[in-house]
């Protein structure tokens, strides 16, 4: 899978590139509008991460160009702006998702995966982790032949874990993923604990293993090691 990252802040660009490469994506980068235009004209990408404010032009124009050339490229806007207008404009012009800075890398990862899944396989994929099988489109989880009935939040949580398997997920990043902008309610960490406990119990009750490991009380890791 080949990704193009368009971002003018070098430090952020570097970290995103390193991170995504470790996730086995092939990454190319562009630090300004013209480089991005050139690369999009020359090569084909499976996904593009586009910042809106760029030296030389707007990321929104890039999206339009991209839509004209390769309609199957998944696009995520990465913007410092959190306004509804920008979001709607971006999605209108054909972006698949909108991520507001600052974000957790785990969040970026799960969004990229979800978009590529939708784009490349029309969403008709199952995600498998050992005995656990997820059907994102139907919101179904199976262990062997047993259906596991999860709440919406529990399902999101499991998908987030599996998208970021073997990676430490801080409680902050989990809370942000589950509740978005409304996570500053003081008791969120208790909620996470409750959700994780329920998820763990339901999986184990259906015959699955407990893959959720607590790390130093700062977060969780979904791993079979």
Partner 1 sequence: MKLLHQTLRVYLFFSVIIFAVSVPLFYFLVQNLWMHDVDESLIFQKDKIVSGIISSGLDPASIAGFSSTAGNLDLGISVSVLSEVRPEKDTIYNNRFYDETRAHIEPFRELKSVVNINQKCYEITIRKDLVESADLIRGITVTQVILFFFLLAGLILLNHYFAKKTWRPFYQLVNLLNTFRIDEEKPIQPEKTEIDEFNDLNQSVSKLTENNIRTFKAQKEFTENAAHETQTPLAAIKTQLDLMAQESGLTKKQAEFIERMDKNLRHLSQLNRNLLLLAKIENDQFDITEPVDIAQTLKEATGIFEEQWKLKGINVQVKIQNSPVISSNAYLMQLLFSNLVKNAVKYNIPGGFIEIELNENIFRIINSGQKKPLPSDEIFRRFYKKGEHDGSSGLGLAIAKRICELLKFGIEYHFEKNNRHCFTVDFDRGFYFSHL
User: Is residue 42 involved in binding partner 1 (CB under 8 A)?
Assistant: no
Binds partner 1 (CB under 8 A): choice among 91, 156, 165, 191: 191
Between 18 and 209, name the residue whose CB sits nearer to partner 1. Answer: 18
User: Is residue 198 involved in binding partner 1 (CB under 8 A)?
Assistant: no
d(CA 167, CA 220): 8
Binds partner 1 (CB under 8 A): choice among 194, 197, 209, 214: 194
Between 36 and 206, name the residue whose CB sits nearer to partner 1. Answer: 36
Question: C-alpha distances in angstroms, 122 versus 69, 74, 118, 119, 131?
Answer: 20, 12, 5, 5, 23
Between 46 and 107, name the residue whose CB sits nearer to partner 1. Answer: 107
- Whether the Cβ atoms of residue 30 and residue 5 lie closer than 8 Å to each other: yes
- Report, in Å, the least distance between residue 214 CB and partner 1: 11
DSSP 8-state symbol, 58 = E
Residues 10-39 that bind partner 1 (CB under 8 A): 11-12, 15-16, 18-19
Q: How many CB atoms lie within 10 A of CB 71?
A: 9
Of 5, 1, 48, the C-alpha closest to 26 is 1
User: Is residue 162 involved in binding partner 1 (CB under 8 A)?
Assistant: no
- Report, in Å, the least distance between residue 168 CB and partner 1: 5
Q: How many CB atoms lie within 10 A of CB 96?
A: 19
User: Is residue 171 involved in binding partner 1 (CB under 8 A)?
Assistant: yes
Binds partner 1 (CB under 8 A): choice among 91, 105, 135, 140: 105
User: Is residue 176 involved in binding partner 1 (CB under 8 A)?
Assistant: yes
Contacts of 83 (CB under 8 A, 6+ apart): none
d(CA 3, CA 120): 13
d(CA 163, CA 23): 10
Taking contact as CB under 8 A, which single stretch among the options 123-131, 173-181, 197-205, 206-214 is the one that binds partner 1? 173-181
Relative to beta strand 97-100, strand 74-79 is parallel
Between 122 and 187, name the residue whose CB sits nearer to partner 1. Answer: 187
Question: Reduced to 3 states, what is the DSSP secondary structure of residue 19?
Answer: helix
- Give the residues lining the site for partner 1 (CB under 8 A): 9, 11-12, 15-16, 18-19, 80-85, 100-106, 153, 167-168, 170-173, 176, 179, 181-188, 190-191, 194, 215-219
């Amino acid at each position: 899978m080949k990704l193009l990252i368009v971002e003018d802040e070098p430090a952020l660009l570097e970290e995103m590139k390193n991170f995504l490469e470790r996730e086995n994506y092939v990454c190319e980068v562009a630090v300004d509008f013209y480089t991005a235009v050139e690369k999009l004209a020359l090569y084909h990408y499976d996904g593009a991460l586009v910042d809106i404010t760029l030296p030389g032009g707007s990321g929104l124009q890039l999206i339009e160009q991209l839509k004209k050339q390769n309609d199957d490229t998944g696009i995520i806007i990465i913007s410092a702006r959190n306004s509804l207008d920008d979001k709607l404009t971006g999605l209108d012009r054909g972006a698949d998702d909108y991520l507001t800075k600052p974000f957790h890398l785990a969040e970026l990862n799960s969004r990229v995966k979800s978009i590529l899944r939708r784009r490349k396989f029309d969403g008709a994929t199952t995600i498998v982790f050992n005995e656990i099988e997820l059907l994102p489109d139907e919101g179904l989880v199976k262990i062997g032949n047993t259906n596991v009935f999860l709440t919406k939040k529990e399902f999101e949580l499991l998908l987030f874990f599996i998208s970021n398997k073997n990676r430490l997920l801080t409680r902050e990043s989990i809370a942000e993923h589950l509740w978005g902008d409304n996570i500053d309610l003081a008791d969120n960490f208790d909620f996470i604990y409750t959700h994780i406990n329920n998820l763990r119990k339901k999986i184990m009750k259906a015959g699955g293993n407990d893959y959720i490991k607590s790390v130093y009380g700062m977060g969780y890791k979904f791993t079979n090691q």
